[in-house]
Structure 1
Amino acid sequence: MSKHSATVHFFLLMITFSELFYTVCSRTHPGDIKVLKDLKKGLDPSSIAPGSCLSSWNFSLDPCDYLFSEHFTCGFRCDRIVSGASRVTEITLDPVGYAGSLASTNWDLPYVQTFDISDNSFSGSVPHSLSRLTRLHRLSLFRNSLSGEIPDSLGSLSHLEELYLDNNHFQGLIPSSFNNLKSLKRLEIQQNNISGEFPFLSSLKNLYFLDASDNNFTGNIPSALPSSLVEFSIRNNNLEGNLPENVRDLEYLQVLDLSHNKLSGPIVSVLFDHPSLQQLTLSHNNFTFLQVPSNMGLTSKLIALDLSFNELQGFLPAFMASMPKLSALSLEHNKFTGMIPSQYALKVAVPGGNTSSFERLLLGGNYLFGPIPGVLMGMKPGYANVSLVDNCLYRCPETFFFCQGGNQKSLVDCKSFAPMIP
């Protein structure tokens, strides 16, 4: 081997050794160690189960030193951000019921991208110092016992893509600063005590999933929602007023759940010819009538439609039997009258063609009268989920599975509602 070749090999060997040295001896940044210590110190010792991640955190060895203490890295991830030093980039605590307060920790982990302490028993308020996690992409605090107001400072996390605050005890309003979360794709705040009017979040151009259910929101449905929404649920609140016409502008929307509110007025026709909507749930409101779409639902993408427990009146809307993909329809507990349209019966009992058949058809709790369509009489249990109970139908004995589970209304009740019922 020549002298020149030996020199090159020695040089390459030194580079390899140098990289190995920095990888093995990459010390954790002192500030990160302090935050990890403060996190463990703020917990109730009795909530740290033996064998859990936190039980292995004794800080006698360097947290990010994979060679000497591999078990110690349980619950977080370290990356060598600068030569010779490692920074904590991910914290994920296993859901074993850790109890304590987040406020006792001064969060200063600027390289953390994922912070997940969900499904534990943390209590108290969310500290403003979480806003120091400036590179955070995912923040998950769901299913704890956190309370107080949602910090306005969370709106400064400009890289945040996923935010989970659901299943806690948060109160107050949604901070207006949330409009600054331009990278946000998923927001879950359901099952809290958040109140006030639902804010305008139309500036969140990347938000595709929003669940604000089971809170105390009041006022109207906001007329300006992110046009990128694919799924929007705000069920079980105290919203009032009419449905906004500009729901057609949510061109990617597939799932809309506004049930269990106090909404009223018409169910607007744009919902029945929406370009992408597949699942619509408006049950348990005060809607009084339906607007018939101009194309009679022939271009509808709806697969499941639930309008039960409202104040809808008139004849059953025949156009719903023309919706090509509709397979689940619930119109229970309204004030519909008239006879069951033959189109409904055929869509249940005679599958085929270019349209989906009704696999679920729930019409109970109305004032439908007349005979049961003959095409339904030959159906056997299990063929489809059909319910016609609590109506004014002529002869609906329990020998038919769709008449089981409830009687028909009395003749007195039927005639008091609609004298034309025979």
Structure 2
Amino acid sequence: MVPSIIWFLLSSFILFNTKNLGAVALTSPQDISALKAFKASVKPGSIQPWSCLASWDFTTDPCAFPRRTHFTCGITCSSDSTRVTQLTLDPAGYSGQLTPLISLLTSLTILDLVDNNFYGPIPSSISSLINLQTLTLSSNSFSGAVPNSITNLKSLESLDFSHNYLSGYLPKTMNSMSSLRRLDLSYNNLTGPLPKLPYNLLELALKANFLSGSLSKSSFDMLTRIEVVELSENSFTGTLEPWFFLLPALQQVDLANNSLTRVEISKPSNANSDLVAVDLGFNKIEGNAPLHFADYPLLSSLSLRYNRLRGRIPLEYSRKKSLRRLFLDGNFLIGKPPPAFFAPDTSVSGSLGDNCLQACPGSFQLCMPSQKPSSVCKQAYGGKPRS
């Protein structure tokens, strides 16, 4: 009789090898072709020996398990080990162009090539990845236009092409991307106006481009869920109208470093608003400091610095309990600042400096830097500014 321990070892050996035999040649041939083309498009000299791509050895099946020596990272496969569902590269400095044959990976839900050196155009064939939910090509060197075909990705929830060299207009049919929640195309060379935006967006980031024109209500039509809008460092002009800050879910706004000339603010309906932070600094905004910002119950940070504001600082700003950061420096504000800003229990930080204020105590950090010379203030007001 064979000892039980020998039977145990023998049966374990048979089971292990049976599982391995069943794992051979599982991956879909079209996925293998796509992976081979993808690796072939990467310059060999940019594939470090310790990197994910270095472990891609096609003498073995990509989805075979366990992956002890080959395909140790970079891909994730479906539960039946037949399709590649994720392609997520390590930031190893890979260089090359993104092959159009990437379109063969039709079961991909995530494509993430962040922090590498891929260059050239984004292939329009990427629109064949109909199951894609997350597309991240940020911090590479992609150039050319955002392909119009990108709007065919109806399942896409997050799109991040930030920190590349993309140029041209945004696709006109972006609003058809009904599943899109997060869009980040910041730090590119995009031009033109904003198109109509996807109505389910939660976060919009297009800062540091060359976008222009006015902010049209039609672009934001039906965006009832938008929480974050980052459009700083562009060339937007004209008036920011009352509808903008009444977007019902809006929390954070950054429109600094544009060429806006006017801001119109209405009271939120029933004093109901989630707005927390607003940055409108370094524009060309004229007129008085918008009074109704004080009616937004949760507003804690407000920057209107380095614009062309005149008149007095609204007393309502100093009475606002939620306000913690206030930057009004670099304008032409006059009169005495509200004394509540200098009370021992004040919680407001920021700057009221570089204005035309009177009696702004130099011993307070809030009054730094010093006020403008009286000659500059007189010139701005066509004579002596009223106190």
- TM-score under structure 1 normalisation? 0.79
Pair 1:270–1:19, CA change in 2 (3 A): farther
Name the structure 1 match of 2:336: 371
Name the structure 1 match of 2:151: 179
Name the structure 1 match of 2:24: 27
Q: 1:200-349 residue pairs with structure 2 within 5 A?
A: 200=172, 201-222=174-195, 224-246=196-218, 247-293=220-266, 295=268, 298-347=271-320
| One-letter amino acid of the structure 1 residue matched with residue 300 of structure 2 | S
Instruction: Note if contact 2:334-2:385 (Cα within 8 Å) is conserved in structure 1.
Output: yes
Q: Identity rate of aligned residues, in percent? A: 35
Name the structure 2 match of 1:123: 95
* Counterpart check, 1:161 vs 2:161: no
| One-letter amino acid of the structure 2 residue matched with residue 275 of structure 1 | P
Name the structure 2 match of 1:389: 353
Q: Which runs of 5+ in 1 are unaligned?
A: 1-15, 88-110, 352-356
Name the structure 1 match of 2:85: 113
Superposition deviation, residue 292 in structure 1: 3.0
For the residue of structure 2 that corresponds to 1:202, the secondary structure is: helix
* Counterpart check, 1:149 vs 2:126: no
For the residue of structure 1 that corresponds to 2:151, the secondary structure is: helix
Name the structure 2 match of 1:192: 164
Name the structure 2 match of 1:102: none
- TM-score under structure 2 normalisation? 0.85
Pair 1:217–1:28, CA change in 2 (3 A): same
For the residue of structure 2 that corresponds to 1:124, the secondary structure is: strand
| Residues in 2 aligned to 1:269 and 1:58: alpha-carbon distance in whole angstroms | 59
Query: Larger deviation: 391-400 or 317-326?
Result: 391-400
Pair 1:250–1:40, CA change in 2 (3 A): closer
Pair 1:56–1:149, CA change in 2 (3 A): closer
| Residues in 1 aligned to 2:78 and 2:230: alpha-carbon distance in whole angstroms | 42
| One-letter amino acid of the structure 2 residue matched with residue 196 of structure 1 | G
| Residues in 2 aligned to 1:29 and 1:192: alpha-carbon distance in whole angstroms | 36
| Residues in 2 aligned to 1:240 and 1:61: alpha-carbon distance in whole angstroms | 52
Q: Which of 43, 64, 68 is matched with 1:70 structurally? A: 68
Q: Which of 361, 372, 375 is matched with 1:409 structurally? A: 372
Instruction: Note if contact 1:241-1:262 (Cα within 8 Å) is conserved in structure 2.
Output: yes
Spell out, residue by residue over 1:284-321, the C-alpha distance to the aligned partner (whole angstroms, 9 max, x if none). 11111122326588333211011111111111111111
| Residues in 1 aligned to 2:46 and 2:283: alpha-carbon distance in whole angstroms | 50
| Residues in 2 aligned to 1:133 and 1:187: alpha-carbon distance in whole angstroms | 18
Superposition deviation, residue 23 in structure 1: 2.5
| Residues in 2 aligned to 1:255 and 1:132: alpha-carbon distance in whole angstroms | 34
Superposition deviation, residue 147 in structure 1: 1.4
Spell out, residue by residue over 1:107-132, the C-alpha distance to the aligned partner (whole angstroms, 9 max, x if none). xxxx1110112422222221111011
For the residue of structure 1 that corresponds to 2:159, the secondary structure is: strand
Q: Which protein is bigger by CA-based radius of gyration? A: 1
| One-letter amino acid of the structure 1 residue matched with residue 201 of structure 2 | L
| Residues in 1 aligned to 2:14 and 2:114: alpha-carbon distance in whole angstroms | 43
For the aligned residues, what is the CA RMSD? Answer: 2.9
Spell out, residue by residue over 1:176-230, the C-alpha distance to the aligned partner (whole angstroms, 9 max, x if none). 11121011000001111111111121111100000011111111111x1110101
* Counterpart check, 1:133 vs 2:105: yes
